[in-house]
Homo-oligomer: A and B are copies of this chain.
Amino acid sequence: MEAGMQAAIEEARQGLAEGGVPIGSALVYGERIIGRGHNRRRQRGSVVLHGEMDALENAGRQPASVYRHSVLYTTLSPCPMCSGAILLYGIPRVVIGENRTFLGEEALLRERGVAVEVLDLDECVELMRRFIADSPEVWNEDIGE
């Protein structure tokens, strides 16, 4: 497995261990992970730090040239907010762990020229299954339902 997805899954597992929504992400520039993170809704009461957003935030301020040569790895199909961040920063490629639990804005991303790859990993599905069984209300809140 690519190092970016490995890091994203580690982040998701860490989120689960903290009692949080187990979605993780990593931003990879060239061969280097420049940001990694996971959903912080429960841990910090954050409504904007989804896994992808946390990875972007932890990467810090970057010039457009870095984003435009980066890949964003995420364990779950990106929601409208995270997809919008991908479009804002012109990230050209997104690798997704799974989209069975939740189908985000993959069609919009593709329509705008982003390369979207879905790995369909059972490991990512299982993390979400466990969390949603325990805390359906937190999951619904996280996706605005």
Contact = CB atoms under 8 A, between A and B. Distances in A.
A83 B89 CA distance: 14
A90 B140 CA distance: 13
Contacts of A53: 48
A134 interface: no
Interface in A74-123: 79-85, 87-90, 105, 108
Contact of A64 (B62, B84, B145): B145
Contacts of A132: none
Interface in A118-145: 140-141, 143-145
Interface string A39-74: 001000111110001001101111110010000000
A85 B90 contact: no
A85 B82 CA distance: 8
Contacts of A61: 41, 45, 47, 141
Interface of A: 41, 45-49, 53, 56-57, 59-64, 67, 79-85, 87-90, 105, 108, 140-141, 143-145
